[in-house]
Amino acid sequence: MEEITNALQEMGPTKAPGCDGFHAEFFQKFWHIIGQDWAKFCLQVLNREILLDEAICCTLLSVHISEDKLVWYADNSERYTVRSGYRCLIKETTSDTTTTEFTDFYKKLWKLNLPPKIRIAIWRFSYEYIPAANNLYNRRVAPSPLCPSCGVVLETFMHTILMCGPAKDFWRSLNVDWSNVNDNMDFCIWLNGVFKKGLDFSEIAATTAWSLWQARNKRVMEGKRQSTQDICSIIHSFIREMRELKMRNSKGLVLGSGTVLHNFISDSFAAEAIAYLQALIFSQDMGFTHVQVEGDSRTTIAKINQMLPDFSDMSTYIEEIKIKACHFQCICFHHVDRRANMVTHMVAKERMVIKEDRFWVEDLPAAAEVFLARDLSGLR
């Protein structure tokens, strides 16, 4: 990496461009953005880990002519806004300590077997993105920072889920003591300690935090009070729901399956998009006219369903999918939880064992039949 960087900096910025048409000045100016990926690619070519002509041949080109697009990679929307530009400037002047400090915390959070709305809410709690009285008072929205339930201390999120009267009663019913925790403790630190007590307790604690905050909002905004028993039933129903797998399919029979190995995939989203495209091609070859495509990549499904043009790295795949979709009489794309997609994952794993691409008609690999039988048993 260092040798490649030094060699690049020593080059004259306006020397004759390479076969790609870019002068050395382009790479020198944007090396902080493309340097890591470009250096990795150069080393792979030099070490003969990949063949240059093979890598070029694997690049997907659309069969339809489309105009070039301007893409802003500093934002997930791929479009430039003043807000995204401001965030770029802030990142250059400040170090993102949160990312390095809480990487393990967020990995554990997203692995919790809970509904997405609870995990997203916990993420918002970790950033204090909540309308607690103390936050609203600091922003000059609320007239008082005191807790609306007890009216004694400042209402922080930790106070709401641990110290306030209803929260204390609930934790006491679970025989959990939080006397060693104070209102000023950071929520992420508290939840990290919860994670150390095991997955089951972590899921219950996260669901409890969400339920107590929901109960607080109903009490403050709607004047409705929930008893400890009501909150308990809500928590247990969520835990039970996420641990029972039920595939809602009219028949559940496999009409066809297949697995294809693709090299040089940029990321998991592109892999999902290619899988959807391959599924449409296979469905068309099988003569299907009514198709429902299901996948566990919410981002990819959302990009396929949106009407606006896509500017992400997988925009070529998205365009091809939309064009292919026009060939069916009826087609829709839905997101499903990964646990409802285990048969597909087992078929994908099968490709790592066999030495060639393979398709099955009204059949499955033996490894996937176990999961299919489990899915079908849930339909009876």
- Domains, the chain: 2-82 (no CATH), 101-242 (no CATH), 256-377 (3.30.420.10)
Average pLDDT over residues 14-40: 76
> What percent of the chain lies above the pLDDT cut of 90?
0
Answer whether 208's CB lies under 8 Å from 170's CB: yes
**CA geometry: angle at 214 spanning 210 and 218, to 5°?**
170
Query: What CA–CA distance (Å, rounded) separates 209 from 202?
Result: 11
**246: pLDDT confidence band, cut at 50, 70 and 90?**
very low
Identify the three-state secondary structure at position 273: helix
Beta-carbon neighbour count of residue 341 at 10 Å?
17
Identify the three-state secondary structure at position 91: helix
Mind listing the pLDDT tens digit for each residue in 48-60?
A: 776 666 666 666 6
Q: Is the pLDDT of residue 248 over 50?
A: no
Chain-wide mean pLDDT for the chain? Answer: 76
Give the residue, 93 or 103, on which the prediction is more confident: 103
Answer whether 194's CB lies under 8 Å from 100's CB: no
Nearest to 314 by CA among 76, 95, 110: 76
**379: pLDDT confidence band, cut at 50, 70 and 90?**
very low
Query: What CA–CA distance (Å, rounded) separates 165 from 159?
Result: 10
**244: pLDDT confidence band, cut at 50, 70 and 90?**
very low
Nearest to 60 by CA among 284, 320, 378, 376: 320
Mind listing the pLDDT tens digit for each residue in 272-291?
A: 888 888 888 888 887 888 88
Answer whether 231's CB lies under 8 Å from 212's CB: yes
Q: Report which secondary-structure segment, H or E, holds 122.
A: helix 116-126
Most confidently modeled range among 1-15, 33-47, 146-160, 223-237? 146-160
Give the least confident one: 65-74, 146-155, 305-314.
Answer: 65-74
Exposed e or buried b for every residue in 110-146, given b needs 16+ CB within 10 A? eebebeeebbebbeebbeeebebbbbbbeeeebeebb
